[in-house]
Amino acid sequence: MGKFCPSCGHEQENPNNKFCSKCGGSLDQAQQNTTTTANTNNYAGVQVMCKRCRTMVPAGQFVCPNCGAPINEEKHTAAIVIGYICATVLTFLFGIFGLIASIAIGIYLYTRDNQDVHKHGLIIIGISVILFIITVVLAFAVLATASSYYYY
* Beta carbons of 17 and 3 less than 8 angstroms apart: yes
pLDDT the model gives residue 41:
45
Q: How deeply is 125 buried, as exposed, middle or buried, from its count of CB atoms within 10 A (0-12, 13-18, 19+)?
A: buried
pLDDT the model gives residue 151:
55
* Beta carbons of 86 and 105 less than 8 angstroms apart: yes
Walk along the chain (152 residues) and give the pLDDT tens digit of each residue: 567 777 777 777 777 788 887 777 777 754 443 333 334 444 455 777 887 888 888 877 777 888 887 776 678 889 999 999 989 998 888 888 989 999 999 999 998 877 788 899 999 999 999 999 999 999 888 888 877 665 55
Nearest to 78 by CA among 105, 100, 103, 96: 105
pLDDT the model gives residue 39:
42
pLDDT the model gives residue 59:
73
pLDDT the model gives residue 50:
82
Paired with 3 in beta bridges are 12
* Beta carbons of 64 and 50 less than 8 angstroms apart: yes
Please state the pTM of the whole predicted model: 0.54
pLDDT the model gives residue 16:
79
pLDDT the model gives residue 40:
44
pLDDT the model gives residue 36:
34
Nearest to 9 by CA among 22, 59, 118, 44: 22
CB half-sphere exposure, 43, CA atoms < 13 A? 9
